[in-house]
Amino acid sequence: MVEGIEQRFFEKGAHGSTPAYLLSDFDKGLFRTVGQIFSASLAEGGPSPNFITDWCYHYLCLGQIKSEDWTKADVSDANYTDLISKIEAAAELELHELANDVFGCGYSGLISGGKKDEMIRAVILHANLRLLPILQQMKEGLSLFGLGNIMARHPDICRPLFVPGDEVTVDADYINSILLAEHNEEGSMRRAREVAIMQYFQDFLQELEEG
């Protein structure tokens, strides 16, 4: 199912995939369902959706973007990657044939060879900013089982589950670093037993690692 979601709802780019701009699916709330399925898959030990581009993952975690860092490699939509390639390759006169497409991306400057960088920047911003409502809907779905809160608190730990190419070494120190034990009140017998169990468990992990 996760693989099918990638093929149906995402577009592959140079450094991962971004959501496809599917307004009918957005209106039906299907991207919220996508987030819920991702949460359920991870909660049940199933496959992780580790195909999402880093800037989308950052938004899903924190609800923020760093658009100043975007490059053409962050655009996955074939229509806009093709437009960027045409702008880069176009001669001065050929640029005017692309004017309507560039203006449709919010560019309002001169159409000239000296303005290619600004034109491409407008295309990049338009291609990605229009995806934010879709990502927000997906972010709502990720709240299932509290996954969204975990991602917000531990974005670096969760990154390998969503972003391709990131790997993490699971050792005793790693497991200890993500344990969030909730103990009973200070001074109670239950708390003393809980603390002892945690200490035994950490010792056990260390012994496993040492063979």
133: enclosing H helix or E strand: helix 132-141
Q: Residue 11: what pLDDT?
A: 94
Q: Residue 38: what pLDDT?
A: 96
Q: Residue 15: what pLDDT?
A: 85
**Who contacts 107 (Cβ-Cβ below 8 Å, separation ≥6)?**
118, 119, 122, 123
Distance CA(21)–CA(31), nearest Å, equals: 11
Q: Residue 87: what pLDDT?
A: 96
Claim: this prediction has a pTM higher than 0.85:
no
Q: Residue 168: what pLDDT?
A: 59
172: enclosing H helix or E strand: helix 172-178
Q: pLDDT averaged over consecutive 10-residue blocks of the chain (211 residues)? A: 94 91 95 96 90 95 91 93 95 91 94 94 96 97 93 91 76 79 90 93 91 83
β-bridge mates for residue 11, sequence order: 18
Q: Residue 114: what pLDDT?
A: 92
Q: Is 38 helix (H, G, I), strand (E, B) or coil?
A: helix
16: enclosing H helix or E strand: strand 16-19
Domains of the chain: which residue ranges?
A: 2-68+131-162, 72-129, 172-209
β-bridge mates for residue 10, sequence order: 19
The answer to whether 154 touches 160, Cβ cutoff 8 Å, is no
Distance CA(211)–CA(206), nearest Å, equals: 9
